[in-house]
Amino acid sequence: MINETLPALPTEQDPRWTRVKIRDKSADGVFWYSVATTGIFCRPSCPSRTANPMNVRFHDAPAAARAAGFRPCKRCRPEGASLDAQNAALVAKACKLIETRSEPMSLQELACAVELSPHYFHRLFKAKIGLTPKAYASAHRFLGYARTWKAVPRLRRRSMTRAITPTAAFTRMPRVFWG
């Protein structure tokens, strides 16, 4: 008796292949693919050139790809955290630095703290947060002022407003911060 197995779906008909072709980041960690001609395995969002579907195999885990004789891609590093996760951690670290420092940090200092170039850090921060590091620091500082201001009883606020003339930068902040 011959032991027959069902043939696997051709790669082009496999729904995972579509996710590889569009470099779907949401598929990272769900499956990995390997390329027989190069001997490497990648995550679906790898920016490398799209392989010939005839040379592609899919794996459920990096260990399965290694067991099949493939090495990890040096470009997407499929066994570690994704580039998006690493960048998010760097931006979170920078935000924490901004929030904990009493004096504002320069772009150069922030970039050195997260070990990136100032230009790349600025682009990355703005892409992830939607604000530049300087605008984020200003917003954080003014939110702190707003919280303090709202905590002061109303009668004391009146007397304080007569004694304090707000600076131009303070009055330019949008009403969003003041509620």
Q: Point out the residues that are catalytic.
A: 42, 46, 73, 76
Strand partners, 56: 35
In a 10 Å sphere around its CB, with 0-12 CB exposed, 13-18 middle and 19+ buried, how is residue 44 labelled?
Answer: buried
Is 55:33 a contact under the CB 8 Å cutoff?
A: no
Stated length of the chain: 179
State the alpha helices, DSSP H only, in the chain.
15-21, 62-67, 83-100, 107-113, 118-129, 133-151, 154-163, 168-172, 175-178
Q: How far is CA 79 from the centre of its chain?
A: 17
